[in-house]
Amino acid sequence: MASFFSLLRWELEEYLSFPVLAFLIVSAIAAVLFQTNSGGHITSERSYISLFHTSGTVFLFLTFCAGVFFSRSFAGAVGKGETKLMLSYPVKRWQLFLSKFTALFPIIFVIYGAAYALLLYFNSISVFEPMFFVTLLAFLLQLMLTCGVSVAVAMVTKSEIISILASLLFLLGIDSVGGAGTYLSAQGRLKFLFSYFGDLIHPDVPPFTEFSATAGDAATAVVVPVVIFLVLFVAAFVYFTRFMEVD
Amino acid sequence: MARYSAKNLTKVGVLVLAVGLVFLAGTFYRTSTTWGSGSVSNLFGLAPQTTHLVKASPFGESDAYIWPPSNLRLDVQANGTLDVHIVDQNGITQWNKNHVVDSVWAAYGIQQEIFNLHLNGRGPHTFLVYNPSEDIVHYEISYTAYGLESDLLYVSVVLTLSGLVVTVAGLLLSWKNRKNRNPPINKQP
């Protein structure tokens, strides 16, 4: 177990050290600040709906940053020979794989979640607004999907650049093509979740007048990315620990 | 030890400076969009000697506009004299509970006028309109919230300057440490 924590610390020092961490924090704040309000009214009763309308930039930046960070950590380490070097020490492959995930995933989520909380102040939304946590759930799902896709592509390609390009083109392509109408796109999932929980929590001020999601829609919006993440992540884990030749 | 603390100080300084600069850029970027513009009017007119708390939408009992601490342009058009107040969340609560006017801005006895004012606080605001005359008054108030958000500007300037000071202090410390480690060699004549 001690070697796992040593790997975790090494991972944090190597991939989340000073300039990279600063970039992550700055990108998260920029994603929240650089929003266009398009002159719309934000009123006290409907201010929670701004959480939905301002999530697009955050999803874009989050997908981009997470895709780059996971690809850099998994494929970059193989490409630069770091993985080979690490495995020459008495560490297990599963420890190396999980230390990368454990180091990056929570930190990216916490930084983006904390930066998104700025919006609560900007739009005078309560800290205890349940729809804020629904939006955070949508960010978590998008991060899981990005992590699963990036890690799987990284294991197959073993090239940092190709992994970044392939995973980002895939994820941003789905978002672009699917729009807000599919469970696979970030905005689509949030729309289903926001509509269902919004109708439930704010029945007097529904988030969408022309659209209403059911409990099944909301459940599917959660289950689809979780299943994709689990399948890809477990496949990448099994491949890395059992079959992958590190040369 | 001192070398590491100077290095860490520089890193913290650069981080704070970067956050300050992104806040500054975001503050200026956000001026490119207005925070809401529109108009409110009273279709049936405001009865004599009565006060009306304007609702921002049909939702809720006291729905108000969320405005940042920025500039507000008001264009008041009425067929009689009016007292126009802008109330914040505290003012809305005061009016709803005790019918006490606690406004952050007010103009008295106006009929057709344009005002440019600056709001000091962020949050819910709305109009409280009083008809002091003996006749029914029809009115329309057009508003546009625009300009730099002063709280964001203040935070970004403070962060940028603090980051700059800490970075320079860190660089000076590391320069001093380097100088102490490598003292100048006294050349023999």
| B124–A contact, CB cutoff 8 A | yes
The range of the structural domain enclosing residue A153 comes to 2-243
Q: What does the pLDDT look like over B65-92, one tens digit per residue?
A: 888 898 999 999 999 999 999 999 899 9
Cβ distance of B66 and A30 shorter than 8 Å: no
Which of chain A's residues have a Cβ under 8 Å away from the Cβ of B89?
Answer: 44
Instruction: Inspect the interface and report whether the beta carbons of A22 and B63 lie closer than 8 Å.
Output: no
Mutation choice for B interface testing from A32, A33, A44 by most B CBs within 10 A: A44
Q: What percent of chain A has a predicted confidence (pLDDT) above 70? A: 98
User: What token pair was written down for A20?
Assistant: 């990279």
The dotted CATH code for B34-145 is 2.60.120.380
Nearest CA in chain A to B34: A39
Q: What is the pLDDT of residues A127-162, one digit of tens each?
A: 999 999 999 999 999 999 999 999 999 999 988 999
Q: Which residue of B has its CA nearest to A21?
A: B15
User: Does the beta carbon of B7 lie under 8 angstroms from any beta carbon of chain A?
Assistant: no
Higher pLDDT pick, A65 / B39: A65
Closest partner residue to A29 (CB to CB) among B19, B36, B64 is B19
| Residue B117 predicted with pLDDT over 80 | yes
Between chains, do A205 and B60 touch, taking CB under 8 Å as contact? yes
pLDDT at A113 over 60: yes
What whole-number distance in Å separates Cα of residue A203 and Cα of residue A198?
Answer: 7
- Facing B26 at nearest CB: one of A21, A30, A123: A30
Residues 140-179 in B contacting A (C-alpha not used; CB under 8 Å): none
Would an 8 Å CB–CB cutoff place B57 in contact with chain A? yes
Name the phi and psi angles at B131, rounded to 5. Answer: -105, 100
Q: What is the number of residues in chain B?
A: 189
Q: Are A207 and A239 in contact (CB under 8 A)?
A: no
Lowest-pLDDT choice from A2-11, A36-45, A93-102, A140-149: A36-45
Residue A111: its chain B contacts at CB < 8 A?
A: none
**What pLDDT, on the 0 to 100 scale, is given for residue B59?**
66
In whole angstroms, how far apart are CA A147 and each of A63, A98, A119, B22?
Answer: 9, 12, 25, 27
Across residues A96-106, what is the average pLDDT? 92
Total number of domains constituting chain A:
1
Q: Do A26 and B59 touch (CB under 8 A)?
A: no
pLDDT of residue A39: 47
Query: A56 vs chain B: nearest CA distance in angstroms?
Result: 16
The mean pLDDT value for A35-63 works out to: 81
Length of chain A: 247
Contact between chains at B29 and A34 (C-beta distance less than 8 A)? yes
pLDDT bucket at A11, cuts 50 / 70 / 90: confident
Q: Which residue has the tokens 């102490």?
A: B180
Instruction: State chain A's mean pLDDT as an integer.
Output: 90
Residues 6+ apart with CB under 8 A from A18: B11, B14, B15
Distances (CA, A) of A43 to A48, A155, A207: 9, 48, 13
Structure tokens at A112: 């983006």
ipTM for this model: 0.86
pLDDT at A244: 84
| Residue A186: other Cβ atoms inside 10 A | 28
- Which residues on A lie below 8 Å from B29 (Cβ)? 33-34
For residues B182 and A182, the model is more confident at A182
Q: Is the pLDDT of residue A8 over 90?
A: no
User: Does the beta-carbon distance from A44 to B66 stay under 8 Å?
Assistant: yes
| Tens-digit pLDDT profile for residues B156-165 | 999 999 999 9
Euclidean distance between CA atoms A196 and A191, whole angstroms? 8
Question: What pLDDT, in 10s, does the model give residues B6-61?
Answer: 888 999 999 999 999 999 999 998 887 666 678 888 778 889 999 888 887 766 66
Residue pLDDT, tens place only, A168-201: 999 999 888 877 788 889 999 999 999 999 999 9
CB pair distance less than 8 Å for B35 and A122: no
